Amino acid sequence: MLKILLATAALIPTALLIKPKHLFIITTTYSMIITLMMLKWFAQPLNHKPHTTNLLMMLDNTATPLTVMSAWTLPLMIIASQYHLTNEPINRKRVFLAACATLQTTLIMTFTATNLVMFYIMFETTLIPTLILITRWGNQTERLSAGTYFLFYTLAGSLPLLIAILFLNTNNSHTTMMLFTLQNTLSDNSMIMWLACMMAFMVKMPLYGLHLWLPKAHVEAPIAGSMILAAVLLKLGGYGIIRMTPLMPLMTQTLYFPFIVLSLWGMIMTSLICLRQVDLKSIIAYSSVSHMGLVIAATLIETPWSMAGAMILMIAHGLTSSLLFCLANTNYERTHTRTLLLTRGLLFILPLMTTWWLIASLMNLALPPTINLFGELMIITSLFNWNMTTIILTGMTTLITAAYSLYLFTTTQRNATPTNKTLTPTHTREHLLMVLHLIPLALLITHPMLMF
């Protein structure tokens, strides 16, 4: 556990000190080697008990898939950002890679923390490198306001969590998660406690109504920022809910109702918003809000099936939306616009990219036999079992999701090509990037039990 963490942290000085001509090759290779070393964590004890546990860190079947996915995203971020950084001075490139490595280190520590105080500190520390990525390497001038939205929404949401953790520490003289699960000490002031603990994660997911920071952040962030935001940072919310709910006493259903209803209604609303967006990145960002609504509903009803479905959907969505952002970026690098009206007819210019677009769109709408369908079916089934009325909302969402995914595909790939388009052909690097996103998705189809 520690050797992985130290190796990831060592990427920061490596990025700052290495010779310029080897900068990208070595950071990519090292980060990929670290990720491949992590794969042994999927060994069998994972299915039975927490393993690799020490006083500060713990891996179990909730933390392991998310940690490995965040590590898998780091080399992909570096590969995707190469064109974006071509004309930057060497020091800017170094700082960019160091920020990515710092973000990776803090994410590993967040997912593996056993202590609530350490979890909170790391949860908030992930904001800093992300904010640097958005505000320093974003393309438009609105990136500063996007950074402000991102910072203040998440900070304001997580302050009640800090107060709740300090309150627990005062009452119990410890904040170890596993001990709380055994003690069940949160019975007094339980409703306020529950709200305080959940609000930070609801904003991070984000819940519909608290989601305004997300499309702004996505649209303004560079490709690496969008990838890590979609793939991992939204999952911190789901992970937090899964971790914190066992510590809470059993709440009345009336407390859950507003949140479940809001997330299910938000899924329909954001899916409809996707249909009338003109910005490519904005559509993918709103589709993330829609998918995360399903995860919020699943984690709140707390049945074994819904929890397993939430884990699968988080992993599947992380890789799929990251892939979609990479595809949107390849279009942007050539046409220098994200407006759908101007990026049409790419089938005739970049035919192989159309294959990746088709696969990504079909995965986004959860076509069988993809892992996305598996996660969505488990969640929809468990929601139906919890309350039959939810089938109307979830059914409508899947229908609209299929509509906007196909709309996204046909708009970018079909139709008449705007005139005077002289585009550079696709690079091997870009195809490698798409394949590296699709390999884990394809392998997980064969063995989805890894994420249970």
Question: Phi and psi (nearest 5°) for 61?
Answer: -75, 0
Whether the predicted pLDDT of 422 surpasses 80: no
381 within 8 A of 388, measured Cβ to Cβ = no
Q: Into how many domains does the chain fold?
A: 1
Whether the predicted pLDDT of 445 surpasses 80: yes
- Buried b vs exposed e over 58-76: b needs ≥16 C-beta within 10 Å? bbbbbbbbbbbbbbbbbbb
218 within 8 A of 282, measured Cβ to Cβ = yes
Burial class (CB in 10 A: 0-12, 13-18, 19+), 254: exposed
2 within 8 A of 53, measured Cβ to Cβ = no
Identify whether 210 is part of a domain: no
pLDDT in tens, 324-364: 999 999 999 988 889 998 888 888 888 999 999 999 999 99
Whether the predicted pLDDT of 419 surpasses 70: no
Residue 56: what pLDDT?
A: 85
pLDDT in tens, 209-237: 999 999 999 999 999 999 999 999 999 99
Identify whether 17 is part of a domain: no
Q: What is the mean pLDDT of residues 147-168?
A: 94
Residue 193: what pLDDT?
A: 86
Residue 111: what pLDDT?
A: 96
Identify whether 312 is part of a domain: yes
Q: What is the mean pLDDT of residues 165-171?
A: 90
Identify whether 306 is part of a domain: yes
Specify the higher pLDDT residue, 286 or 187: 286
Residue 405: what pLDDT?
A: 96
**Confidence bin at 421 (pLDDT 50/70/90):** low
Q: How far apart, in Å, are the Cα atoms of 230 and each of 102, 314, 317, 332, 450?
A: 18, 10, 8, 18, 21
* CA end-to-end distance (rounded Å), the chain: 21
Identify whether 27 is part of a domain: no
Mean pLDDT of the chain, nearest integer? 91
Q: How far apart, in Å, are the Cα atoms of 182 and each of 85, 104, 120?
A: 50, 31, 21
Residue 294: what pLDDT?
A: 96
Identify whether 333 is part of a domain: yes
**Confidence bin at 418 (pLDDT 50/70/90):** low
Identify whether 110 is part of a domain: no
**Confidence bin at 255 (pLDDT 50/70/90):** confident
142 within 8 A of 220, measured Cβ to Cβ = yes
Identify whether 389 is part of a domain: yes
Point out the least confidently predicted range of 91-105, 130-144, 174-188. Answer: 174-188
Tell me how far the alpha carbon of residue 129 is from its chain's centroid: 15
Report how far residue 48's alpha carbon sits from residue 64's, in angstroms, rounded to the nearest whole number: 13
Percent of the chain with pLDDT over 70: 95
Q: Using CA of residue 365, residue 370, residue 372, residue 374, what is the dihedral sign?
A: positive
375 within 8 A of 316, measured Cβ to Cβ = yes
Question: Phi and psi (nearest 5°) for 367?
Answer: -85, 140
Report how far residue 30's alpha carbon sits from residue 263's, in angstroms, rounded to the nearest whole number: 39
Point out the least confidently predicted range of 11-25, 32-46, 161-175, 233-247. Answer: 32-46
Report how far residue 226's alpha carbon sits from residue 150's, in angstroms, rounded to the nearest whole number: 13
Q: How far apart, in Å, are the Cα atoms of 282 and each of 143, 190, 341, 354?
A: 14, 38, 14, 20
Residue 53: what pLDDT?
A: 76
Which residue range(s) make up the domain with 358?
Answer: 255-452
pTM given for the model: 0.96
Whether the predicted pLDDT of 238 surpasses 60: yes
201 within 8 A of 240, measured Cβ to Cβ = yes
Whether the predicted pLDDT of 48 surpasses 60: no
